[in-house]
């Protein structure tokens, strides 16, 4: 079986593809499936090319041109034509059985156009609703014209795709609420490559000394500093937590759009000595920073984006034998069973966050079992081998029929 993947513009030219895509491709190859990858003009190429990354072929699309490409707000639609053309080039050369388009919807639109020209079925994979992400980023407001148009485009792609997959139950339920037949949707959940994560049993003492947090109780977050992550709530909870855990400090590793606001908040609260922000770090050092954290905290705020979409970071933490505390948004509740694989607190509630963190840190007798449960969850359930296996039935049906379900 040969699958043509249409990938989004966030994939760097030289690294090739995102974590989820990389994991999917790896597992598909392990099953003997062949894959071809086509990337959008947002890849940033100056011309069409075929790149080899980790032994995989990536067909790069030419830049968008013409008047439409120059009009703000409409220039996104200009990406569809060159992407569809490049997909057809890849189809002619590679003769795939299935087109598998990954959100956003512009990729799906281009895939549908190419599929009609070459009579191939399309699987459309939704990883998030991009209009909801745009609300958090401030590029649109819920219900405004751009929001409605983005949602309408997504609905069009969903309607005309042969099958739809989502990364979690929250997204699936939302689609069912829009009137999409349950039989047309399959959940392919986020997971981890368990063999890439070792249990962390000891702190990196040299790094702890370098950061000045030896003999400290460390709460931590490693990732991108987006508004929906709720890191401002975590900073706000620290003074109350320190009333019960005086040696508590906060380690925020990463960066992003909220970094300056967080620094201002830290300064206003006088927490400069209690919050450590080393910035972005090389990938090979991530494990060393994870080792320093006694309790990883994911305080996502409640909104459509977080209620519907599951993150990867809590699974990665469990895979490394780390304790996890998260807000009780829908995306977290799909991953964490309170008191068993981690803990949950009431979203958007600073006092609940501080109290729950203090309770966990004061009850170390429960830690070993929770760590064991979390590791078992990712080993036996949330691993990529299990997740990717769900594609086989979809691909097999569509490659035989080529008809909408």
Calculate mean pLDDT across residues 99-104: 94
pLDDT recorded at residue 404: 41
pLDDT, mean of residues 107-119: 96
Tell me: the pLDDT tens digits for 14-51?
444 477 888 888 899 888 999 999 998 877 777 788 88
Give 187-207 pLDDT, tens digit per residue: 999 999 888 888 999 999 999
**CB-neighbour burial class of residue 35 (10 A; exposed 0-12, middle 13-18, buried 19+):** buried
pLDDT tens figures, 243-301: 999 999 999 999 999 999 999 999 999 999 999 999 999 988 999 999 999 999 999 99
Better pLDDT: 283 or 132 = 283
362: exposed, middle or buried (C-beta count within 10 Å: 0-12, 13-18, 19+)? exposed
Residue 12 has pLDDT above 70, yes or no: no
Q: What is the C-alpha to C-alpha distance for residues 146 and 75, in angstroms, rounded to an integer?
A: 13
pLDDT at 13 over 70: no
pLDDT for 95 equals 96
Instruction: Give the pLDDT score at 178.
Output: 93
The lowest-confidence range among 77-91, 93-107, 132-146 is 132-146
pLDDT tens digits, 160-184: 999 999 999 999 999 999 999 999 9
The structure's pTM equals: 0.87
| 378-381 contacts at long range (C-beta below 8 A, 24 or more positions apart) | 378/191, 378/192, 378/194, 378/197, 378/315, 378/318, 378/319, 379/194, 379/319
> How big is the chain, counted in residues?
405
pLDDT recorded at residue 73: 65
β-strand partners of 101: 6, 124
For the ranges 135-144, 190-199, 351-360, 385-394, the one whose mean pLDDT is highest: 351-360
pLDDT confidence bin for 136, thresholds 50/70/90: low
Per-residue pLDDT at 47:
76
pLDDT (0 to 100) of residue 137: 67
Comparing 57-61, 65-69, 240-244, the range with the smallest average pLDDT is 65-69
Q: What CA–CA distance (Å, rounded) separates 233 from 356?
A: 13
Crossing angle (nearest 10°) for helices 231-244 and 350-361? 50
pLDDT at residue 42, rounded to an integer: 79
What's the farthest any 2 CA atoms get from each other in the chain? 66
By the 10 Å C-beta count (0-12 exposed, 13-18 middle, 19+ buried), 353 is classed as buried
Of 73-82, 121-130, 373-382, the one with minimum mean pLDDT is 73-82
pLDDT at 83: 94
Structure confidence at residue 399 (pLDDT): 86
Residue 141 pLDDT exceeds 90: no
Residues of the chain with pLDDT > 90, as a percent, come to 74
The CA distance from 253 to 247, in Å, is 19
In the structure encoding, which two tokens stand for residue 171, read together?
């997204």
Lowest mean pLDDT among 145-154, 219-228, 231-240, 294-303: 145-154
* pLDDT at residue 145, as a whole number: 79
Does residue 69 carry a pLDDT above 80?
no
Q: Helix 231-244 vs helix 259-268: angle between axes, to the nearest 10 degrees?
A: 30
């Amino acid at each position: 079986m040969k699958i043509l993947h249409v990938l989004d513009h966030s994939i760097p030219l030289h690294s090739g593809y995102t974590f989820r895509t990389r994991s999917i491709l790896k597992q598909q190859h392990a099953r003997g499936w062949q894959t071809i990858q086509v990337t959008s003009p947002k890849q940033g190429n100056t011309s069409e090319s075929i790149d080899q990354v980790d032994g995989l072929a990536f067909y790069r699309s030419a830049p968008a041109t013409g008047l439409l490409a120059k009009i703000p707000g409409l220039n996104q639609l200009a990406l569809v034509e060159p992407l569809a053309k490049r997909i057809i080039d890849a189809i002619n050369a590679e003769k795939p059985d299935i087109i598998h388009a990954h959100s956003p919807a512009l990729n799906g639109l281009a895939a549908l156009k190419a599929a009609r020209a070459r009579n191939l079925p399309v699987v459309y994979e939704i990883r998030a609703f991009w209009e909801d992400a745009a609300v958090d980023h401030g590029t649109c407001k819920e219900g405004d014209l751009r929001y409605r148009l983005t949602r309408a485009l997504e609905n069009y792609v969903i309607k005309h795709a042969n099958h739809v997959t989502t990364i979690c139950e929250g997204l699936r339920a939302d689609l069912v609420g829009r009137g999409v037949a349950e039989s047309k949707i399959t959940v392919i959940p986020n997971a981890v490559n368990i063999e890439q994560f070792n249990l962390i049993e000891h702190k990196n003492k040299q790094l702890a000394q370098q950061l000045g947090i030896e003999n400290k109780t460390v709460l931590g977050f490693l990732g991108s500093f987006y508004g929906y992550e709720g890191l401002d709530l975590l900073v706000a909870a620290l003074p109350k937590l320190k009333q019960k855990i005086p040696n508590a400090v906060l380690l925020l590793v990463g960066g992003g759009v909220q970094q300056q606001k967080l620094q201002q908040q830290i300064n206003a609260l006088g927490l400069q000595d209690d919050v450590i922000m080393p910035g972005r770090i090389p990938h090979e050092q991530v494990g060393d920073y994870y080792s320093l954290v006694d309790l990883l905290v994911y305080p996502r705020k409640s909104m459509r984006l977080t209620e519907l979409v599951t993150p990867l970071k809590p699974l990665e933490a469990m895979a490394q034998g780390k304790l996890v505390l998260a807000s009780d948004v829908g995306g977290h509740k799909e991953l964490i069973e309170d008191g068993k694989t981690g803990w949950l607190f009431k979203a958007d509630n600073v006092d609940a966050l501080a109290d729950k963190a203090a309770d966990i840190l004061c009850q170390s007798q429960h830690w070993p079992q929770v760590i064991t449960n979390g590791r078992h969850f990712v080993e036996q359930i949330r691993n990529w081998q299990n997740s990717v296996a769900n594609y086989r039935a979809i691909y097999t049906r569509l490659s035989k029929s080529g008809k909408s379900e």
